[in-house]
Every structure is written in structure tokens, then in C-alpha cells.
Structure 1
Amino acid sequence: MVVNLKAKKRLVARVTGVGVNRVRLDADHLDDVADAITRQNIRSLITAKKITIKPIVGTSKGRSQMKKAQKHKRGTTQGSKKGRKGARVGKKDVYVAKVRSLRRLLKIAKDRKDLTNPEFWALYKKVGGNTVRNKAHLRLLMEEIIAKRS
């Protein structure tokens, strides 16, 4: 006897929280599935392995990750670079990285009580205004301030 089990599949999908296409009914026990009308009946059929849920089959990312790694690796050696330095790493990115590292250094100095609050802010403004060239220059300025204080 051929029974339309579309409604049963929908009920199983609702009970298990999966899509209808992942519900698989055992061909040998279709009459048991047709008799099941309550959610409890459905759950008992699932535990009895008369109704199974197909596993999720996703797309593997392994190959794409490998290709991405190859792409990132290529063209990074000295003779392969085209365009000036600013074309590969923008001026703003360089500036942001520099300012963040200098501000981190300033904060550490302030937390250690090497700098007073007004001294800290004077140097902080110099860092933000791009007056300080690098960490060594900042350390030099800090030493000058500390020497002037004492």
C-alpha cells in the first residue's frame, strides 16, 4: 500500500528541528510511520531507528584555504614587488600602527609614574600630530622631560 507520507515528514522535521529534506523514513517500516500520529510516536520511531536524520554535508574549505595561502605567499620577495611602498601598505595604515605603538609606550610610562599627567598629555599631542618619529625618538623626548624636571 502506497501512502503519502509528506505530512509525516513535516511532523518529523518540526519535532527534530531539521529541514524536511534531511528526514529519511525506513522503507521496511513505512506502515509504522503512517500509524504514528503524535509527537511521542515520532520520537519513539526515531529512537527505534525507523526514522533517521541525514547528517549535514557542507562544502570543505581545505582546498580554498590552501589556495588562499599560496596566493598570499606569492609576490612578496624583493624582486617581485611592483608599485611604490605606499601602494602595498598605505600611508594611513603605517601612521595608525605607529601612533598606536607610541601611545601604548606612553601609557606604560604614565602607569609607572615616569611621567606626570601634564607631561603625558604634552607628549600624547606630539604623537597625534606626527611630530614623534619612532619609539627611540619618543624615549629621547621622555628622557629630556625627566632630566628637565630634576
Structure 2
Amino acid sequence: MSLAGQRRLAARLLKIGRNRVWFDPDRIADVEAALTREDIRRLIHEGAIRSSNKIGISRARAKILHEKKTRGRRRGHGSREGTRTPRKERWISTIRSIRRRLRVLRGKRQLTKKVYRRLYTMSKGGAFKSVGHMEQHIETRKLARRR
């Protein structure tokens, strides 16, 4: 006899998909006799109906690949993905953002002209790797004007 109805009810009660419903092979007769939700609930309680475990995706291959990459393998030209930003373009975007921030700080009158000029030349020389780095420098050296 088909157990489709019992499987459907059990799946609904266990809050799982129909494929994950497991019937005890020794108690198939009891499962066949179960017609109501209450009957199915009783069989679940007795252990005649259970949910099988979810099947995940194995991370074994990913772990092996990661291990190889930490050892420096798979880094050749053929394995590279995505475009690389040229050093010059990276420098341009960084220096522009730093200079923009310097202009804003000077505009707010937080930096004197002398301090502004010194920071400008420092940034031109590559002293700061980012806007945050420059602001940290300003903070630690107490170069900003107090309000």
C-alpha cells in the first residue's frame, strides 16, 4: 500500500520535506494503519516515524584547496581572477581622497595653512596609506585646532 498520505502528514508535523521522512521498516503495518494527524503524532512520539538528517555540502575539497593556497600553490597566472588595478591608478585614487580630506579640514578651519602645507607634502611623499591613517597622524600629533 502507498504511504504517500502518511508521508505528507508526517512531513507537515515534523516541519520537513517529504523526502526526509523516515518510516521504521519493522513498523510499516502501524504506519499504514495511521490515518489521522493524531495517529501520526503518536507514531512520531513512539519513534516509528523520524526525520532523517539534512545532507549538507562537504567542505573537504574546499579545505584541501585552502591548505594548498596557504602553502603558496595555485597562485600562477592561469589561476588569477579579476582585474588588477595598476599601482599608479591605486595611488591616484588614494592621493585624491587624502587631498580632498585635507581641503575639507582646511575649509572647516581645523588646520592652519602651515599644518595643511606640511601634511600635503607628506602625503605627496607617500607618508599616509589612507585618509584614516592621515587622520590618525593628525590626532596623535594634536595638529588639529581646538574649537
TM class, shorter-length: 0.5 to 0.7
Cα drift, residue 49 of structure 1: 0.8
Tell whether 2:44 aligns with 1:46: yes
Partner secondary structure for residue 32 of structure 1: helix
Cα gap change, 1:10/1:134 in structure 2, threshold over 3 Å: closer, same or farther?
A: same
Partner secondary structure for residue 24 of structure 1: strand
Give the helix-richer structure, 1 or 2. 1
Asked which structure has the greater RCO (Cα within 8 Å, sep 6+), the reply is 2
1:120-139 superposed matches below 5 A: 131=124, 133-135=126-128, 138=134, 139=137
Cα drift, residue 135 of structure 1: 3.2
Partner secondary structure for residue 118 of structure 1: coil
Match of 1:118 in 2: 109
Cα gap change, 1:61/1:75 in structure 2, threshold over 3 Å: closer, same or farther?
A: closer
Match of 1:23 among 21, 37, 40: 21
One-letter amino acid of the counterpart of residue 133, structure 1: G
Partner secondary structure for residue 18 of structure 1: coil
Q: Distance in 2 between matches of 1:17 and 1:73?
A: 44
Match of 1:57 in 2: 55
Q: Percent identity?
A: 24
TM-score by length of 2: 0.55
Q: Which runs of no fewer than 5 residues in structure 2 stay unpaired?
A: 78-82
Q: Distance in 2 between matches of 1:47 and 1:119?
A: 72
Cα gap change, 1:131/1:70 in structure 2, threshold over 3 Å: closer, same or farther?
A: same
Q: Which runs of no fewer than 5 residues in structure 1 stay unpaired?
A: 82-86
